[in-house]
Amino acid sequence: MGATTAQKIVENGLADVVILDVREGMAQGKALDILESGPLLGFDTRIHGSGNYETIEGSSVVVVTAGFSRKPGMTRDDLLHKNGEIMIEVSRKIRQHAPDCVAIMVTNPMDLMAYMLWKVTGFPRERVIGMGGALDSSRFAYFISEETNTSVSNIQTMVMGGHGDNMVPLLEFSTIAGVSLKKVLDPATLDRLVQRTRDGGGEIVRLMKDSSAYFAPAAAIYSMIESILHDRHRIIPSSVYLEGEYGVKGVFSGVPVRIGNMGLEEVVRLPLSEDEEKSFHKSTESIRQGIETIERLFPDLGRP
């Protein structure tokens, strides 16, 4: 996923990139492979592969994709413990070498890993953003496009909540050419598309068997980076630390946010229906339970 994101960035001339991987030669090989496509595609953007954290010095944006996927026999606590240990180390290195960056968290469980990065780095909440809502919204939009035989350019979607089984697609704020989905699709079809969106990552894992998604996630990450570096102020559903917005405090969860060159500029407040509000609070409560597990597994975790 990281290499695919880097490829999109350099091919579009958005920025110079460093790929960092602790495996000897892996990042260097991928960087060289991408650079060798430059003469064919006509880009002169630079990409550098490294195993040394010092190479991220001064980065404007740092994307974190490091970590393990869940293996057979592993409990969720096992995965959280393994990726949590990695995240503590990565967060300390980011704080040391790129103290002014905007950090985008991708590693799963994403909302919880974003919380850990925020705690360890001590960054203000504006500069730690989790990628999830952009991907979930894009998946929802594609499924609607496929169902209705409509161009994706005519479809706008919004998904809130945790990046997992309890995500909350907002039907009132998801439209085809400005028309609410509820006026276009019947309830049974909408329920089916919502469930497929919630299962979107798992569907790809089942098909690929030994891999998870990376093309669409990379596109979601790219959209966030582009809004930061070009100060686009785009509204992109993302996971941020909530301080009372939507009646929630003290957790990372997906909400519509305005993103610019300093990261989070504003949490956009939408009038949710009673059912949507209940679903969102159920989703955030699940994240809160995960944070309690983090505090138990890593009792010394804290703001520096």
Return the HEC string of the chain.
Answer: CHHHHHHHHHHCCCCCEEEECCCCCHHHHHHHHHHCCHHHHCCCCCEEEECCHHHHCCCCEEEECCCCCCCCCCCHHHHHHHHHHHHHHHHHHHHHHCCCCEEEECCCCHHHHHHHHHHHHCCCHHHEEECCHHHHHHHHHHHHHHHHCCCHHHEECCEEECCCCCCEECCCCCEECCEEHHHCCCHHHHHHHHHHHHCHHHHHHHHHCCCCCCHHHHHHHHHHHHHHHCCCCEEEEEEEEEECHHHCEEEEEEEEEEEECCEEEEECCCCCCHHHHHHHHHHHHHHHHHHHHHHHHCCCCCCC
To the query of whether residue 163 is one of the catalytic residues in this protein, the response is: yes
| Among 48, 81, 97, 163, the one annotated catalytic | 163
State the catalytic residues: 163
